[in-house]
Amino acid sequence: MALHSNTSPVYVAFLFSLNYVFMTAGSGLSSESSTGLSAPYDELYYRGVRAYFREDWERAAEFLEKSISTRDKLLQTRRKCHDECLTAGDDKISKLDEDDFTLWDLGILDWIQVRAECVRFCMGRSVSPAALLPVSSDIEYEFGTRNPYNYLQVTYYKLDKMAKAASAAHTFFVANPSHLEMRNNIEKYRRLLGVKEESFLDREREQEQHWEMYDAAVLTESSSDWVKAVKKWKECVNETLKQTEECRAQCVMASRVIPEEPDNVQGIYERAADLSLSLLSCKQMCVTLVSTRPGRVSALEDFLPLQLEHLHIAQFKAGDLKGAVETLRSLLFFYPTDSDFLSNLELYTQTLEGDTEAQETGPMQEIAKYISRALQEKRLLYFGMANLDFKFSDPDLWTPEDVVPESLRETWRVEKEKLNEKLKQGEKVEEVDDSGFYAGGPVPVVGVTVTMDDQGLNGTNRVVLDGVLSQSECDRVMQLATVAASVGDGYRGRRSPHTPHEKFEGLTVLRALKLAQDGLVNQSDARLLHELGETVKILMDSYFRSHSVLYFAYTHLVCRSAIPGHQEGRLDLSHPVHVDNCILEPETRQCWREAPAFTHRDLSAVLYLNDDFEGGEFFFADRDAKTVTARVKPKCGRLVGFTSGPVNPHGVTAVTAARRCALALWLTTEKHHRDMEREEAEELWAADGKSVVKEETGDGESALKTARSGRSQGKERSKERERVTGRRDEL
């Protein structure tokens, strides 16, 4: 309904009260008994927690599970009633004469009453009166942070239900990735018999599926499969819109009660307007909630427009210009004056000359409705800020200035400028490495020299060392890789996990030993692979002045081979920009130390074996994953070392011809994350009565060989250590 300039404040308040029904309806008490819920979920939760502290594990599990399922049913019922009553009373609104205001108040009240009765009746059919009452903010916080699963994890452990305990632990950890105790618990569950990988199930996954789709779309895009990327991005956009609607429905049905004794004396219109504005603000905040990953405090700015931009690029690269036009016109709803969008649209329409239907393709209807509704709500909220002293924080960067009342525009502009300045400064923040390592220590291996340090590599805790290997040693390891790959490398010769244009081959120390035992490779070459790791650890430990004992986290001989006939016009990377011990989020420049990242890795190293290939250049990048800060060209005996944290994002350019091989190593200060496969190989060697350390040969390389003796042959190893399995990675 249009808002006329001569409308009195009382009618403006009534306009706000249109939405008030949804909040008051949820607080009405039905006389009908509950058929779906036995008790309020907060009461069930209290009972579960009390049973937990009494160590009554059976009852604790029962009540905690009931509290979770009861809350889920309540949220589903709210959404169902919201949908059922969406058009209730619309016939009464349509009968109102906009030019006759004499009965306008009564007509609106009649419409509100019909909508309220619909919601009250719908909720009363499934929810008990007690379950309709508001819950405390503390309880909402408990469920928002997934704390019930924290209790359930211990409860199921005590009940010896390890698969359920693992699932509860994982569900909690997804939303609390910095909870170190839970991280350790998960590692323990992984080592228990009967706990399978599928046991680590996120029970709240349904509410976060848009993030899974977002990650899948980014991964597909990185492999340059543009047709599939279009499909993935469309799925992501649709799921984001769906989750937004789910969130908004909960705002509409949230149990609210008008305070009986407000702080200041207000009339019914002012009080209704205040509650209605709170409802609209809640709906607007769904943008932030949906754009924030579980366990993170900051939202991904412009989440929906960002997806549309990715979709538009994928459509263009897939040759779907009609779809690109539709998506661009949708993007222009958010940023109507963006010069890049406008020039791209002009280019597409010119390319589609003669195809009138494609040229005149309009925006997505879902986006048009989304924008129209958002702008209406923003206008009301900004009106409330200007006239009713209401507080509102706009979650969107795209909000147009003409939505804001003139009296607020100056303040709005200042806040907008501060935000933009903050974002710009964020791009220029000097990276600080808090890992505890400090580059610049001595190089204790004869013949190894520092080629590039922090200054030469434009970063922190980075180094390039040359002379780690001789050419003959490079040749031996290259031959080992060739022979090992030809008989099975443990990866079934599959293509690279990062690009379809390259073949990926890998070999571990344990695999090399077993091949040697079968007589397929030389024992001396297998031992050389092991010794190289020892040398690298000595160099990394010394140069980065390790503050703790270092352990091998993983060692991997990696080869990438360009697939003939699949190289023309490649724009992808052999390994996209990433950080080794956290998940890099280029859009926000954040790096999250959470699964599935290898958060225990402290130092990373790559020892190159050859240079007779094209592409395959190692590079360091800024956190935006776009700005290259330093490049390193591989060659035999060259080692790149760096700390594994967010100060060192890195990647590998496409290998476009021949075969690139390198030994990738990661080191950790956490003993329980040491590489058990490597130690198993050492034990097998010891069982055969053979040293894992190469003896001096007197061929002029004795000093180097001695330096590689990083372990004492008589060192005892604990028989009680447990195997820790996990996903592998390579550089």
Task: Give me the sign of the Cα torsion angle 46, 47, 48, 50.
Answer: positive
Locate the DSSP E strands across 359-439.
Answer: none
What's the CA gap between 724 and 188, in Å, rounded? 9
How far, in Å, CA of 314 to CA of 233, rounded? Answer: 8
Q: Of the given ranges (129-138, 154-163, 358-367), which has the lowest mean pLDDT?
A: 129-138
Q: What confidence category does residue 100 fall into, taking pLDDT thresholds of 50, 70 and 90?
A: low
Query: What pLDDT was estimated at residue 178?
Result: 65
3-state secondary structure of 19: coil
Distance CA 408, CA 386 (A): 7
Task: Tell me what pLDDT residue 330 has.
Answer: 94
Among 96-100, 223-227, 685-689, 719-723, which is the least confidently predicted range?
719-723
HEC states along 681-703? HHHHHHHCCCCCCCCCCCCCCHH
Catalytic residues: 660
How far apart CA 647 and CA 430 sit, in angstroms, is 9
pTM: 0.60
Q: What is the pLDDT of residues 585-608, one digit of tens each?
A: 887 788 888 767 888 999 999 999
User: Residue 94 has what pLDDT?
Assistant: 63
Radius of gyration, CA atoms only, the chain: 31
What gap in Å lies between CA 192 and CA 169, rounded to an integer? 14
Domain ranges of the chain: 41-206, 209-257+268-427, 449-688
Residue tagged 């908004």 (tokens): 248
Q: From CA 166, how far away is CA 424, in angstroms rounded?
A: 42
Top-level class of domain 449-688:
mainly beta
- Which range, 16-30, 35-49, 131-145, 654-668, is most confident? 654-668
Q: What's the pLDDT tens digit per position in 463-495? A: 999 999 999 999 999 999 888 764 434 444 444
Distance CA 420, CA 268 (A): 40
Per-residue pLDDT at 32: 36
Using 50, 70 and 90 to split pLDDT, how confident is the model at 531?
very high
Query: Over 70: is that where the pLDDT of 4 sits?
Result: no
What is the per-residue pLDDT for 280? 87
273-300: b (≥16 Cβ within 10 Å) or e? bbbbbbbbbbbbbbbbebbebbbbeebb
Residue 423 CA neighbour count, 13 Å, CB half: 13
Distance from C-alpha of 407 to C-alpha of 386, rounded to nearest angstrom = 7
Q: Do the beta carbons of residue 658 and residue 612 sit within 8 Å?
A: yes
Of residues 387 and 474, the one with the higher pLDDT is 474
pLDDT tens-digit profile of 58-69?
A: 999 999 999 999
Helix ranges (H only) for 127-225 are 137-144, 147-158, 162-175, 180-190, 209-222
In the prediction, which pLDDT does 227 show? 94
Give pLDDT, residue 181.
77
